Amino acid sequence: MAAMRAFGTHLSSSVEGGGKKFRFVYLSGGMSERDQSRSLWMAGETRKIRGQVENALTDYEKDKNRSVEVYIARPGMVLARGMSLRTLVFGMGPSIWVDDLAKVLVDVAVKGDKDGERVLENERMLWWEF
């Protein structure tokens, strides 16, 4: 959040003068949970922390700073090329190749999302059109 506040403060005057908004792309994770009161069975604390950050970023954009666009990427398991068969078996759930994820993140930072979606789930990123 410190980085977001610093960019927002620094860039707010340029946006007021007609400049472009700063696109902030947060790499969260699949199964993040924004509802902090929800009871979770698996990786609960990690999922809630990610959700808490997502909430803080979107609240900041909505309430405090119009110079920033927040995008949240929620990949499943991130796979490296050349991984062993054993490792790939773990990727049978939602997953994305690391280089494909990187391309999507850079594209979002440069262009935003043509459909206006701010939360990009794993499935959406798999079918990303460049």
Does residue 5 form part of some domain? no
Give counts: helices (H), strands (E), the chain. 5, 5
pTM of this structure:
0.82
Tell me whether strands 119-121 and 95-97 are parallel, antiparallel or unpaired: unpaired
74's tokens: 């929620």
Range of the domain at 47: 21-126
Does residue 92 form part of some domain? yes
Does residue 102 form part of some domain? yes
* pLDDT at 6 exceeding the cut of 90: no
For the segment 62-104, what is each residue's pLDDT rounded down to a tens digit?
876 677 899 999 999 888 887 766 666 665 788 899 999 999 9
Question: Into how many domains does the chain fold?
Answer: 1
29: domain CATH number?
Answer: 3.40.50.720
Non-local (6+) Cβ contacts of 75 within 8 A are 27, 29, 30, 94, 95, 96, 101, 122, 125
Does residue 34 form part of some domain? yes
